Amino acid sequence: MIAYLTKPITQAELWQAIVRVLSVTTQVATLSPVVARHTRRSAHRRLRVLLAEDNMVNQRLTARLMEKQGHTVVVVNTGRAALAALTQEPFDLILMDVQMPDMDGLEATRAIREWEREASRHLPIIALTAHALQGDVERCLTAGMDGYVSKPMNPEDLYAAIDHVLHNCGEYLYTP
């Protein structure tokens, strides 16, 4: 994602976003960064996040990014552990590494989507992976993931992906 805006937007913000996205050189001396003015939807409510990630460094980084936004994070290191965690407590969102031992993120996502058919609810899942090729994105979405963030992770990309899936998925599984 190159840019995103939140409503209400000004004409100048829209213009700057269009210029930035189209990579058009203008007479404007300096274009301010196009950001959401820190009015993220995910920042307005505290989320319960399940982080399924086998790499300890990525676990710490991602958990810290979520906690800085006020969210509660439960960390597991396999897809099978993610499935077990879902039976223990409710979550609003899953951040799922694609490549994990025991059960990878794609297989775990398919199993979660099966579980949801009985629960009649949709739990947003965002893929976290070092694979950044177009085919990899399609594999994640085909498996049932709602969004995709490539590693190494840019915090703004992660926050934007969370906002996007929460906006598109509607109701949350858990409300504190």
Q: What is the DSSP code string of 12-45?
A: HHHHHHHHHHHT---S-S-PPP---TT--HHHHS
In a domain, 141, yes or no: yes
Residue 13, pLDDT score: 67
Residue 7, pLDDT score: 67
Are 34 and 45 within one domain?
no
In a domain, 174, yes or no: no
The ranges of the chain with pLDDT < 70 are 1-9, 11-17, 19-44, 132, 170-176
Domain range enclosing 17: 1-39
In a domain, 175, yes or no: no
Residue 130, pLDDT score: 83
Residue 114, pLDDT score: 92
Residue 40, pLDDT score: 47
